[in-house]
């Protein structure tokens, strides 16, 4: 069972074992939640990019400690490739790889945000539903805290949104 918690806290303030930071190889400076995480790490992600140690190529990943600068212990940095190349099929392929990596970490808990990948509320819902569906197919028990825009969370609550049969939903 997937325990999905929708939270309006910023991603850097949500407690958890692993926080997921996605980024594109052709967008600099970093955008959205990855930018906030980079700022909290005093530019460590940007430094790794400048050193050529990470680039954002599709499915490239790196696990690193948060060094107490985030409420989560570790950070999984995950590349999404070129921003113009990411479509629904490629995103789902990436989710499969991403979830395999999260499963191998055996954290049982992940903090995510898809708000910067979605153009609107329904796009965000579709991304989150794809994530929970792929996760439920690959892994049975995990807590997912989704740190998002308070307006979108309020809309999901108002519409009584469903994120899949194997998902229990709560709000923080």
What one-character DSSP code corresponds to residue 58?
T
| Closest to 7 (Cα-Cα) out of 161, 121, 153 | 153
**DSSP E strands: which ranges in 98-151?**
109-112, 142-147
Give the whole-angstrom CA distance, residue 116 versus residue 103. Answer: 24
At 164 the pLDDT is 84
- pLDDT tens, per residue, the chain with 172 residues: 899 999 999 999 999 999 999 999 999 999 999 999 999 999 999 999 999 999 999 999 999 999 999 999 999 999 999 999 988 888 888 998 998 898 888 888 999 999 989 889 999 999 999 999 988 887 668 999 999 999 999 999 999 998 888 899 999 8
Give the whole-angstrom CA distance, residue 144 versus residue 6. Answer: 8
| pTM of the full structure | 0.91
Q: Is the C-alpha dihedral spanning 82, 17, 93, 2 positive or negative?
A: negative
Give the whole-angstrom CA distance, residue 140 versus residue 96. Answer: 14
At 86 the pLDDT is 87
**Token digits for 78?**
């995950």
The enclosing domain of 96 has a CATH number of 3.40.220.10
Instruction: Identify the domain containing residue 69 by its residue range.
Output: 2-171
- How many domains are there within the chain? 1
């Amino acid at each position: 069972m997937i325990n999905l918690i929708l939270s309006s806290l910023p991603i850097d303030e949500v407690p958890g074992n692993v926080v997921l930071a996605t980024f594109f190889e052709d967008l600099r400076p970093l955008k959205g939640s990855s930018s906030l995480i980079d700022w909290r790490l005093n530019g460590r992600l940007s430094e790794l990019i400048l050193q050529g140690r990470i680039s954002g190529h599709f499915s490239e990943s790196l696990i690193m400690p948060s060094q107490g600068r985030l409420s989560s212990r570790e950070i999984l940095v995950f590349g999404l490739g070129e921003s113009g190349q990411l479509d629904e099929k490629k995103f789902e392929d990436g989710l499969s790889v991403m979830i395999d990596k999260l499963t191998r970490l055996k954290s049982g808990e992940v903090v995510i945000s898809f708000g910067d990948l979605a153009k609107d509320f329904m796009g965000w819902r579709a991304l989150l539903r794809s994530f929970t569906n792929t996760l439920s197919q690959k892994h049975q028990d995990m807590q997912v805290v989704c740190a998002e825009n308070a307006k979108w969370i309020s809309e999901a609550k108002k519409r009584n949104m469903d994120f899949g049969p194997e998902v229990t939903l709560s709000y923080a």
